[in-house]
Structure 1
Amino acid sequence: MKSVVSAGREQRREYAGDDDRPLGSYLGTLGLYGLTLGVIGAAARLTGRRPPSVSVWDVVLMTGATHRLSRLLSKGVVTSPLRAPFTRFEGPSGPAELTEKARGSGVRHAVGELITCPFCVAQWVGTAYAAGLVFAPDATRLAGATMTAVAGSDWLQLGYARLQRSAAQSPG
């Protein structure tokens, strides 16, 4: 009878071949996310907090804030020191954004992949926003409105820059 560890190693070899994929570390990350949800739920229950009803405007704020904060955390120049222990700088990727590659192996590599992926970070940010609506709804909505305004401003800045390039290229 195979041990759980040897079965896990065999499964990783079958899945990844010669690629060193840190499946155990990914599983640990999933476990940490589940534990985080459990702690949030238990804290809400112990304090008698209940999720508020969520309006369409709450979803709009949550969407904008989650988008902006996940991009800032996973790609932002100013947040690169937070990612540096887990990533290697590759170069700029866009206005005020960087491309980085996960480094190391095991947990270090798995964390590097997580924190350089805005889609992955968004799951954690969205969950934190939802928890904020339970424990501090007014402050969370204010933070959400601020981050949504910043996201809107980013799009306006990009649109303005595109219009400037278009005007500069126009004959006339």
Structure 2
Amino acid sequence: MIGLRRAFERMHRLYQGDANRPLRGYAVVLGTYAGLAGALAVLGRAAGARLPERFGAGDTVLLSVATHKAGRLLAKDAVTSPLRAPFARFEGPAGEAELNESVRGHGTQHAVGEMVTCPFCLAVWVSTGLSAGMVLAPRAARLVCTALTAVAASDALQLAYDTGKQRLRLAARQAGD
């Protein structure tokens, strides 16, 4: 065990160079993900769930948009900031209904902070959960994915509406000049 620890510490030093990278924290995050994915597989097997022969294009698009929206909601939305607060520090607004936050802490706290403030990082976790839902409880998972996709479409419409209003105001100002 001591030899394994020394090997890890050596690898860590060689990997990070002058940077301070929380490899142990990342290992905890990866181990947690693997454990949860394994638990979902065991649960599915115990429940007698069968993997579909294939996912259709509609389910893939629905899952993709829902994953995107859930990832952004979890990583950037003001309302979900209490979930990120143990791992991040508020920096300021980041545009339309999103926040900028910086990761804080060391080790596992820092690694989790990187994950929960990054919609790209969260997408793997969200997609895994929603995909498992599509196998274990497809009706409920489709409902959740449809709701998240509707929110994403609404966001796009809100942004398009605001952009249209800004263009009209600019055109009116330019016509008045």
TM-score by length of 2: 0.92
**Alignment correspondent of 2:56:** 55
**Alignment correspondent of 1:9:** 9
- Tell me how many residue pairs correspond in the alignment: 171
What aligned pairs does 1:101-116 form with structure 2 within 5 A after superposition? 101-116=102-117
CA shift at 1:124, angstroms?
0.4
Residues 9-34 of structure 1: CA deviation (Å, up to 9, x unaligned): 22222221232210011012111111
Residues 86-123 of structure 1: CA deviation (Å, up to 9, x unaligned): 10111111111001111010110000000000001010
Structure 1: which amino acid aligns with 2:33? Y
**Alignment correspondent of 1:33:** 33
**Alignment correspondent of 2:159:** 158
Give the distance between the partners of 1:132 and 1:51, measured in 2 at CA.
11
**Alignment correspondent of 1:98:** 99
**Alignment correspondent of 2:72:** 71
**Alignment correspondent of 1:42:** 42
SS at match of 2:78: coil
4+ long deviations beyond 3 Å? none
Give the distance between the partners of 1:105 and 1:59, measured in 2 at CA.
37
Give the distance between the partners of 2:10 and 2:78, measured in 1 at CA.
39
Residues 39-79 of structure 1: CA deviation (Å, up to 9, x unaligned): 11111111111123421111111011111110000000000
Structure 2: which amino acid aligns with 1:100? E
Once the two structures are overlaid, the 10-residue window that deviates more, 99-108 or 11-20, is 11-20
CA contact (8 A) 1:51 1:133 kept: no
Unpaired segments ≥5 residues, structure 1 = none
Could you say what the CA RMSD is over the residues aligned between the two structures, in angstroms?
1.2
Unpaired segments ≥5 residues, structure 2 = none
SS at match of 2:94: strand
Structure 2: which amino acid aligns with 1:108? Q
**Alignment correspondent of 2:136:** 135
SS at match of 2:93: strand
Give the distance between the partners of 2:32 and 2:163, measured in 1 at CA.
42
Give the distance between the partners of 2:109 and 2:31, measured in 1 at CA.
16
TM-score by length of 1: 0.95
Give the distance between the partners of 1:23 and 1:78, measured in 2 at CA.
30
Structure 1: which amino acid aligns with 2:162? A
